[in-house]
Amino acid sequence: MATEVRGEGGLRIRSLRCEYLVDPFGIDVARPRLSWVVESGARGARQTAYQIIAASDEDHLVEGSTDLWDSGKVESNQTAHLQYGGAPLASGARCHWKVRAWGDGGRPSPWSTVARWTIGLLEPADWQARWIGSPPRAKRKRKAGLKGEDDPSPLLRASFTIEKKVKRASLHASALGEYEASINGQRVGDRCLAPEYTDYGKRVQYQTYDVTGLLREGENVIGAILADGWYAGNIGFGNIKLFIRSRMYGVDRRFLAQLAVEFTDGSARVISSGPGWRVWEDGPIRRADHYLGEVYDARKERPGWDAPGFDDAGWAPVAVDESVKVNLVAQMNEPIRVVERVEPVSMAEPEPGVFIFDLGQNIAGWCIVRLPASVIEPGATVKVRHGEMLDLDGSLYTGNLSAARAEDVYILAGAVDQELHPRFTYHGFQYVEVTGLKHGAKASPSMVTGCAVASDPPVASAFECSDPSLNRLWRNIYWTLRDNLPSIPTDCPQRSERLGWMGDAQVFSQASMFIMDMAAFYTKWMHDICDAQFDDGRFSNISPNPFMRGGAIVNFRGAPAWADCGVLLPWDAFVNYGDTRCLEEHYSPARRFVDQVHRRNPDLLWRKDRTFPDFGDWLNGDTIRSRDYPKRGGQVPKDVHATIFFARSAELLSKMAGILGKEEDAEKYADLAARIKKSFHDAFVDADGRIKGDTQAGYALALHFDVLPEGARPAAARHLVAALERYDHRLSTGFNSTTRMMLELARWGRADVAYGLLFSKRFPSWYYMIEQGATTMWERWDGFVKGRGFQSKMMNSFCHYSYGSVGEFIVRVILGINPSEQHPGFAEFTIKPVPAKQLSWVKGHVTTIRGTISCEWRLGDSRLDLAVTVPANTAATVHVPASDGESVLEGGNRLEDAEGVEYKGMQEGAAVVRVVSGTFHFASTMP
């Protein structure tokens, strides 16, 4: 049996990444940043030096023979964001690289496995391809209201001949609209809904594919199908013409493709989209829209259209559109793809011929429907409808879809076995209704498979405990995040909205970064945020903001907490990933935002120009409709809410400036933040320490963002608990304050109160949702109430992550893992679990940019067992709950005698120790 070879201190290198991605293909960063993880089973293991080598192919990837870069031995413990420092890389270049590290003993680790990246097209001049599509249609104009007419997806094709042996080939492709490309009848890649969502007037993404294995000698064919997507399809929210539009970004769907082929004899060839291509405008996809669904007519199929040997004499020449002038950028985050498949847990037939499948999980995506010939009537129409819930009579509930239809329609050509699924739409659903089968035919659960379709950041965490409901809550939070990642972080996947709401994202950002590796995803979306910033400095309330392009809500910007996301999110990314480039890129937009709020509010209370609407603490207890919840007055006053976020953004701007070496700005905005806090205290806090409104939310936000003077904070914490008592220990908080209240209760020694809220099954609560069968997080506390039914049809998503931000509390307080602003990227961090009497054991982990942190604890007979794993090359401060330091053991040893453990003393009922990498087992006596 082979044993693993390790170097000094057992160091080994894994998880090599380039710009956060594993072996990215077609990036447009000429000098990308490289990262890796150091592992070791030894305590105290750390990296003292590293060496990176890079070459154009693996044959040259040998120390002393590299043709691109050899960093030499660099004395450093850094493992993240090391910039490539080798020979300049041109468009199309390929780079292979590996790394090794040294520990304290002076010997190197083995070389890592080989990783690679390729460069896309760096300059506009590198593009030979031209934008093509169907001839322009004058009747296609931007429309108010829902666009629902058929508009078939065109089929594009080009034939070319290869007479040499191919060494390698890359396809660069993009679209205005959405595309699916193929070569010789085989789909290219596994991406969905490409090129994904941006403000197409600012940036259009392109994708690069390795298609070497798809080409052959002789005739070859490139094919593409186009659809509306975000570019030309329905977009907006609600079911009112004022708020929903089609063709917001453009009218005519366009395709761009450039195939670069290298041959074994050293020659090369480029095949590009242009005048030689052909188009068929009467394809089988009759309509494809994110809100409405897809209509597919199998009678319109053209078998073999994208393969060699097809006769396209009846096809028309494509239109070459020279008017398209866009900024093409490589996609630099994980693609949208089918990320999971879900099988039905049950099937019902509430009325003859109507079959409803329950997936047992609310997902976003589409269904594969398998129809055996025995259930098909030739020429029949099969409809597949989607919904999140069942109505009280067992029928599919679609009342909360607003203008969305969420319906896929298949017109069948013949009675043969068929497998059907859409390409250019997605729905939010747990239940699937299928109709249109042959009269008397019976369906079976195996006919349907749910396909979850989303951007695919790696899952970074796991959580499990002794309480099944808390495990279900964690899964609900995970799935809600998964369902709302179609290129941007959306508010919901089911109704006609699905927009990148900034307020929702800022409150959920830390939870999302615990659950998944969101670094590349948020890097992309933060560019969308900057693209949507208005000239006056205000960030949009949604990003991208389609209403900037001729919509009705031209002032849909600048709402407190929503616009502040443009400051808060880059900071969270820096704290979690140690990414200073993120701060560099977003510092100026953040400063413009803070400056305009200050300019409009010279008295430092954010009361003016808060825009319409000012959402405040959205969907707080005042919006609940239930006789079992009579309280009113839970809404924090909006000037209180706004000023707190003003102070927070100014303070974070000061911190950003300090990190970037902008000392004058750091001092300037620190002073501004201090003055805002003083104005807040003078205007809104009375002599007894009560904040205007005397609300749960007001105290929670003021404490969480340290707006109050230190001396006033204990009183605010007491008033917070009193505000909960007035509500019979129930929540009155909304999106922005709920999780922050939970965190502040724990910070101020009232974790018992927070746990009472978390584990409560009374309405409103997280467990109440679960008791009603929730498999994702609800938008409203009262989305469905026993005896009352559903909330407002206009706005009642059952897959909305804002209240899922409690996942941050689960990781920070129950599991105990906390990042450090002073040591970003988890170079150092804190593990501080607060055991709950409702739990007997907990275990979980978070995988960071520097490795996996794990924590497990068990309670029994006043004894706590705590096991933590600290990644190599990192350090942690661990708080071990204990009655006293003498009772704490590590590995059976007193703390003073334990290897690699530095005892710091007792603090707030815990023994505090500092450890450097390794796994540690603590045992203590609880108070």
Q: Can 262 be counted among the known catalytic residues? A: no
The sign of the dihedral angle between the CA atoms of 301, 305, 309, 310 is positive
DSSP state, residue 375: G
In angstroms, the CA 546 to CA 527 distance is 15
- The CA distances from residue 680 to 615, 618, 640, 709, 911, in Å, are 20, 21, 8, 10, 37
In angstroms, the CA 601 to CA 615 distance is 19
In angstroms, the CA 403 to CA 244 distance is 9
Q: Is 289 helix (H, G, I), strand (E, B) or coil?
A: strand
In angstroms, the CA 494 to CA 497 distance is 8
Q: Can 497 be counted among the known catalytic residues? A: yes
Q: Is 8 helix (H, G, I), strand (E, B) or coil?
A: helix
Are 245 and 169 in contact, with CB atoms under 8 Å apart?
A: no
Q: Pick the catalytic residue: 8, 178, 497, 890?
A: 497
The pairing of beta strand 381-387 with beta strand 354-371: unpaired
In angstroms, the CA 75 to CA 552 distance is 57
In 388-475, DSSP assigns E strands to 389-390, 396-397, 407-411, 418-420, 427-435, 448-455, 461-465
In angstroms, the CA 595 to CA 154 distance is 48
Torsion of CA 270, 275, 277, 282, to 10 degrees: 150
In angstroms, the CA 517 to CA 17 distance is 12
Report the greatest alpha carbon distance in the chain. Answer: 88
The sign of the dihedral angle between the CA atoms of 897, 898, 904, 906 is negative
Going by C-alpha positions, the residue among 147, 808, 134 that lies closest to residue 507 is 808
- Give me the phi and psi of 239, to 5 degrees please: -125, 25
Taking the CA atoms of the chain, what radius of gyration do you get in angstroms? 29
Other residues' Cβ atoms within 10 Å of the Cβ of residue 3: 5
Interior CA angle at 577 toward 571 and 578, to 5°?
Answer: 75
Single-letter code of the amino acid located at 308: P
In angstroms, the CA 140 to CA 625 distance is 44
Specify which residues 235 forms β-bridges with.
245
Are 223 and 306 in contact, with CB atoms under 8 Å apart?
A: yes
Are 15 and 37 in contact, with CB atoms under 8 Å apart?
A: yes
Cα-Cα end-to-end distance for the chain: 49
**Percent helix / strand / coil, the chain, rounded to 5:** 25, 30, 45
In angstroms, the CA 776 to CA 768 distance is 12
Is 868 exposed, middle or buried, given 0-12, 13-18 or 19+ CB atoms closer than 10 A?
Answer: buried
- The CA distances from residue 618 to 53, 568, 621, 781, 802, in Å, are 52, 18, 9, 12, 10
Are 842 and 814 in contact, with CB atoms under 8 Å apart?
A: yes
Residues in the chain: 927
Are 122 and 91 in contact, with CB atoms under 8 Å apart?
A: yes
Q: Pick the catalytic residue: 180, 779, 808, 890?
A: 779
DSSP state, residue 557: B
Specify which residues 69 forms β-bridges with.
54
Q: Identify the helix (H) or strand (E) that includes residue 354.
A: strand 354-371
Single-letter code of the amino acid located at 282: D
Going by C-alpha positions, the residue among 852, 825, 847 that lies closest to residue 33 is 825
Active site residues: 497, 779
